[in-house]
A = this chain, B = another copy of it.
Amino acid sequence: MQIPPETFLIDRASAQPLQLQLRRQIVRAVHEGRLRPGERMPSSRALAAHLGVGRITVTQAYLDLVATDYLTAQGRSGYFVSDRVEELRPEPPHEPGATRFDWSAHLDGRNLAAKRKDRPTDWRRYPYPFLYGQTDDRLIDHAAWRDCAVRALGRRDLGALSDDQYDGDDPELVDFIIRHLLPRRGILAHPDQILLTLGAQNALWMICAILLDRGAACAIEEPGYPGLHEILRTLDSDVRPVQVDNDGLPPDRIPDGVSVVFTSPSHQCPTNRTMPRARREALLRLADQRGFVVVEDDYEFEIPFSGASSPALKAMDRSGAVIHIGSFSKSVFPGLRLGYIVADPAFIAEARALRGMMLRHPPGHVQRTMAYFLSLGHYDRQVKRMRDSFAERRRITAEALARHGLDAGQPGGAGGSSFWLRTPPGIDSDILARALKADGVLIEPGRAFFLESEAGRGHYRLAYSSIQAGLIDEGVRRIAQGCARLAASG
């Protein structure tokens, strides 16, 4: 690699000679690994011009560094970083004797404390990753995404890509969501009812920041989505967990006095149960009577296995009490960071203003690429492919669970990408997960899904979106083996 001259900087106000400053900078950068063996230094002419010094100053510095083995000279091709220098672990840039700034007076550590810490980013290194929210690469239509990304970089779309849109969204993406995505969920919406977000997590954050900031209480599903727990802990919200049953959230257990109710009616997270129609109607009636907002997290809606989806809760919302959250992360790929909120225009206007201050808007290129991915039909094809593949994996996983004598869970709603399982009696899923990790198997212990109780220790989530179909049986076998070992040793 050619090192650009702009890498270097001299300080004319300093008492140090320029040549010495330059030499010290290069030595330090080499030791710290910022300049790497074999990289080519800028030509003395280019560096001198950039620094506004004589060429001889640069040449003299280079020659000194060759003499001290930091650089090597290779005839006409110039100067290169030497490979004879040992890289030192750089020290933080505190001068000896300087006071360290007291950060503890400014930080209460509340965000760090709220953060979920049990998810490995190196999951690809494990052969049996039963890990929710990541996707097997082979299900992603990578060529189609690339085609759309290149289209979205075309001349026609340059403004959408390069402009600061302030608080606006890509009208082409919004149009497609309204015309083709929301009708599938039975939702009719206008552009002033839509806001694009950096994924569902970002949508939840904004909803909480707007509705819960001034001490308002909320009800959540127990067990429920850990990403929501994180947010509520950070905001120090007044939270009332409501135990779910086989039909999801029971409206009659929602305590009085809550302003907001969070629910995942299509696939309850993590139990995968679907809320029946009568209960949905009861929930909406209650919302109108008591005046609470219902936040519908419609994650995974695109992945039902049989026929058309059932309508969203938002589709039944007559009064406008429901805020609906959708995401492309599950159905396109998780790193995309793109989702949307559908809600009353009054709420959307407020959320749009907040988003403008928080981050302006999702990157223009990502929005326009998604618009092409949808409008060219790639999205439908990818969802079909995922649905078929997940149906097969679900069947294989269910068979493997039965074969190896593990709880097969309750059937739950149609579709989804995971099982919610009980551990064998006496087995703690935290301990099980740690033991299995050493055996190449990743599962999600249940504790993160419970806000209050320790009941999660008796559960775990087993996802089949990220593991290859052919490895499921062996993975499940290792889980059964791990359980047996723990039972024997306990």
Chain A contacts to B: CB under 8 angstroms: 1-4, 6-11, 13, 25, 28-29, 32, 34-35, 50-52, 90, 92-95, 98-109, 111-112, 114-115, 119, 121, 124, 133-135, 137, 140, 142, 145-146, 149-150, 153, 155, 158-168, 178-180, 183-186, 188-190, 198-199, 201-202, 205, 210-211, 214, 216, 227, 230-231, 234, 259-260, 277, 287-288, 291, 293, 306-311, 317-321, 329, 333-338, 344, 346-347, 349-351, 353-354, 356-366, 375, 377, 380, 383
Contacts and interface: CB of A to CB of B under 8 A. Distances in A.
Given A111-B354, A356-B115, A149 B153 contact: yes
Given A163-B134, A198-B359, A51 B333 contact: no
A98 B28 contact: no
Which residue, of A51, A99, A336, A365, has the highest number of chain B Cβ atoms within 10 A? A365
A425 to B, nearest CB: 32
A134 B367 CA distance: 19
Contacts of A277: 13
Contacts of A375: 1
Nearest to A346: B103
A10 B307 CA distance: 11
Given A9-B183, A9-B311, A234-B354, A145 B135 contact: no
Contacts of A293: 101, 106
Nearest to A168: B121
Given A210-B107, A308-B6, A358-B358, A319 B198 contact: no
B357 A112 contact: no
A180 B380 contact: no
A380 B183 contact: no
Nearest to A292: B106
Contact of A162 (B34, B114, B201, B335): B335
Contact of A111 (B35, B101, B210): B210
A183 B231 CA distance: 36
A164 B211 contact: no
Contact of A320 (B7, B94, B202): B94
Contacts of A155: 142
For the complex of A and B, 10 pairs with smallest distance between CB atoms: A164-B334, A162-B333, A335-B364, A111-B353, A98-B318, A198-B359, A34-B179, A52-B307, A101-B321, A115-B353
A293 B25 CA distance: 28
A178 B227 CA distance: 31
Nearest to A235: B357
A172 to B, nearest CB: 13
Contacts of A321: 101
Given A101-B319, A320-B94, A357 B161 contact: no
Given A101-B319, A115-B356, A164-B335, 19 more contacts: A6-B308, A11-B310, A13-B277, A25-B183, A32-B188, A34-B180, A93-B188, A111-B210, A115-B357, A121-B163, A124-B163, A134-B164, A162-B333, A162-B334, A162-B336, A164-B334, A230-B356, A234-B354, A337-B362
B291 A105 contact: yes
Given A114-B353, A227-B357, A121 B165 contact: yes
Contact of A165 (B140, B335, B354): B335
Contacts of A98: 318-319
Contact of A50 (B101, B178, B308, B366): B308
Instruction: Select the residue from A114, A134, A140, A335 with max chain B CB neighbours within 10 A.
Output: A335
